[in-house]
Structure 1
Amino acid sequence: MTSVDQRPPATPPSPPAGRAPLLGGRIGSVEVLAVLLIALLIFREPIAAAISTPLLQTWTTVFVSVMVQAMPFLVFGVALSAVIAVFVPRSFWSKALPKHPALAVPVASCAGVVLPGCECGSVPIAGSLIRRGVTPAAALAFLLAAPAINPIVLTATAVAFPNNPEMVVARGVASVIVATVMGWLWLRLGKQEWIRLPHRPELDDLSRWRAFWAACRHDIVHAGGFLVLGAMAAATINVLVPESVLQAVADQPVLSVLALAALAVLLSICSEADAFVAASLSQFSLTARLAFLVVGPMVDLKLISMQAGVFGRRFAMRFAPATFVMAVLVAAGVGMVLL
């Protein structure tokens, strides 16, 4: 008769006392944050002395102002993007937009008037529209038009230019024209492989609310990181551009339009606030300031960074320069007619 070994199975050895088991040896965000906090505590005095310099104070002010202006609208856009991705069925877009892509582009451009938000929120929304089956040309037209023609922006423009109500009309007309033309150009010249949407979490196996929060977390981390990089670049260039340069070109019509268009790209001001900055540049003509208002919501540093993060670098390298040229030309033309 054979005996049965009844010893309990061997258990894996426990880690030595005082040491926690490592999860794959990876360093996570909590560890990085802890190291940063410790470094700030150790080097608090030299850091405080460095920040107290006027140049860095200006840099910090610009960076914080861009982030404070943009972040609420980024969160709004991310939440709306998650709603589109999770709760809106694909069949809705086939009914809401014309089936012919060439007709869907102007409809999508005009649809931006009903959604309050800025360029920071329109980027994730456009990405979500493409994922839901909307033609990229229509989604890109919405991306360009929505930040410039929504009710909040148009109201802010009217308040900033109380003696020039034609600025509101000129801004709306020029922005819709640029968005529509760029959408049509994408239909003609764009290639699908230029758009590389980032990998999204698998949402099909989750409940709707879990999928909603998963989509929000993904977009906040992805788009928010590029927003920070764009804000840092805008603050850096802001403190390096001397004000005397603006004074030198203000009296030259062509250069003034180009200067304010370039300034709009560099400053990266949220579209809800850029009208007040444009109104303060009283030494420039209304046409030059219109170029500032048309270019800013469509092409700026933080927007280019976010487009590169959401759609890919190949897309941003082609789409942003083309949009800049088109926005300058259309703003100059509309300004000559309406202003």
Structure 2
Amino acid sequence: MTDLDRAFQQDEADWASPAPPAPSSHRRRPRRAPVGSVEVLAVLLVLLVVFRNPLADLISGARLTTWVTVFVSVMVQAVPFLVFGVVLSAVIAVFVPRSFWARALPRHPALAVPVAGVSGVILPGCECGSVPIAGSLIRRGVTPAAALTFLLAAPAINPIVLAATAVAFPDNPEMVWARALASLAVAVLMGWLWLRLGRADWIKLPYRPDLDDLSRGRAFWAACRHDIVHAGGFLVLGAMAAATINVVVPEAWLQTLADNAVLSIIALAVLAVLLSICSEADAFVAASLSQFSLTSRLVFLVVGPMVDLKLISMQTGVFGRRFASRFAPATFVAAVLIGTGVGVAFL
């Protein structure tokens, strides 16, 4: 081997090897939020331990049992779908090339929004899984409007949810397609509104360690660990809030509100936010609220998978507080108006 051949081999090795890391003084490190979901959860747990005796005196045994039951039920419903969403999000981040989304979605953002909404039919999951998936889609270059449309549509119009609605309302089959129509309309409308009014700096995805330098297996597990810790903490906070509301709100209030057509719609919309029921189970809860009109119960089914306490908490963790404080209220108003319109026209 000649000296020239050795020189060529050395040059090829230099190109193949990664560049040396920049000096620490010049390396830009992502700024980490001083208080995250894990820190908040740790503080809450410490406070619960420290003040467990005063809390036990304030809360009766029956109410404490109800609180624990609701909290555990929300977590049992949500955690499997959260894990499913985190795993699918990691698959998208690691194994799906960016070029796939350029081919799968129309190039024009306004056309990509309804396509993303209709594609929500194929994801058999609830809102807990759609949040990390939407975040991963944005990371992979999907326009935020299309990703947010998918986030809202997937938990509301997938086959499992629609089948559960049909079972819960055997005497009112029109509730199935009314729910699908209203939910898809809200999702597409919010996607188009984001194109018109949304700003990129409202979305602040949490820093995820660079996965490009890892093997696919290690990158996959790193993405899973990151998302489950980040989103899981906010899920716990949302479940605790939902359990507290279930204990505090008297059931007698619901009967009083059901007698007024306008207040019944608003009451069930707010109740959907507070109860934070998984979209696969909310139809059975809506069916049990027989004192309310079909229109108000439709609003309950449209609002729940798009805006509830655990979902707002998870959106805050994945997209940032500036996003959640704007997107959740706007989605709530759109869901109430469109759900009411569809209910009045067709139910």
Q: TM-score range by the shorter chain?
A: 0.7 to 0.9
Q: Distance in 2 between matches of 1:236 and 1:332?
A: 28
CA contact (8 A) 1:51 1:57 kept: no
| Alignment correspondent of 2:318 | 310
| Alignment correspondent of 2:159 | 151
Partner amino acid, structure 1, of 2:109: P
- State which of 295, 311, 320 in structure 1 corresponds to 2:303: 295
Please list, as runs of the form range in 1=range in 2, the aligned pairs for 1:19-58 lying within 5 A after superposition: 53-58=61-66
Displacement, 1:237? 1.1
C-alpha distance after superposition, 1:140-165 (max 9, x if no partner): 00000000001110110011001111
Aligned-CA RMSD value: 2.2
- State which of 242, 253, 256 in structure 2 corresponds to 1:248: 256
Question: Tell me, which stretches of 5 or more residues in structure 1 are unaligned?
Answer: 1-28
C-alpha distance after superposition, 1:103-140 (max 9, x if no partner): 00000001000010000000000000000000000000
Displacement, 1:324? 0.2
CA contact (8 A) 1:171 1:290 kept: yes
CA contact (8 A) 1:109 1:179 kept: yes
**Is it true that 1:236 corresponds to 2:249 in the alignment?**
no
Alpha carbons of 1:251 and 1:77: their partners in 2 closer, same or farther (altered >3 Å)? same
Displacement, 1:49? 8.9
Displacement, 1:238? 1.1
SS at match of 1:206: coil
SS at match of 2:219: helix
| Alignment correspondent of 1:91 | 99
TM-score of the aligned structures, taking structure 1 as reference length: 0.86
Q: Distance in 1 between matches of 2:189 and 2:51?
A: 53
Displacement, 1:43? 11
| Alignment correspondent of 2:341 | 333
Structure 1 residue runs of 4 or more that deviate by more than 3 Å after TM superposition: 42-52
CA contact (8 A) 1:77 1:125 kept: yes
| Alignment correspondent of 2:33 | none
- State which of 270, 279, 294 in structure 1 corresponds to 2:287: 279
Alpha carbons of 1:166 and 1:197: their partners in 2 closer, same or farther (altered >3 Å)? same
Displacement, 1:45? 9.9
Partner amino acid, structure 1, of 2:204: R
Q: Distance in 2 between matches of 1:276 and 1:67?
A: 18
**Is it true that 1:180 corresponds to 2:188 in the alignment?**
yes
| Alignment correspondent of 1:135 | 143
Aligned residues: 305
Larger Rg: 1
**Is it true that 1:109 corresponds to 2:117 in the alignment?**
yes
C-alpha distance after superposition, 1:285-333 (max 9, x if no partner): 0000000000000000000000000000000000000000000000000
| Alignment correspondent of 1:210 | 218
Displacement, 1:209? 1.0
Alpha carbons of 1:59 and 1:97: their partners in 2 closer, same or farther (altered >3 Å)? same
Q: Distance in 1 between matches of 2:127 and 2:92?
A: 17
CA contact (8 A) 1:50 1:56 kept: no
TM-score of the aligned structures, taking structure 2 as reference length: 0.84
Alpha carbons of 1:174 and 1:43: their partners in 2 closer, same or farther (altered >3 Å)? closer
**Is it true that 1:121 corresponds to 2:126 in the alignment?**
no
- State which of 80, 85, 93 in structure 2 corresponds to 1:77: 85
Q: Distance in 2 between matches of 1:63 and 1:49?
A: 20
| Alignment correspondent of 1:160 | 168
Q: Distance in 1 between matches of 2:258 and 2:115?
A: 37
Q: Distance in 1 between matches of 2:159 and 2:227?
A: 25
Partner amino acid, structure 2, of 1:326: A
Q: Distance in 2 between matches of 1:86 and 1:45?
A: 47
Partner amino acid, structure 1, of 2:183: S
Q: Distance in 1 between matches of 2:314 and 2:55?
A: 29
CA contact (8 A) 1:109 1:180 kept: yes
| Alignment correspondent of 1:193 | 201
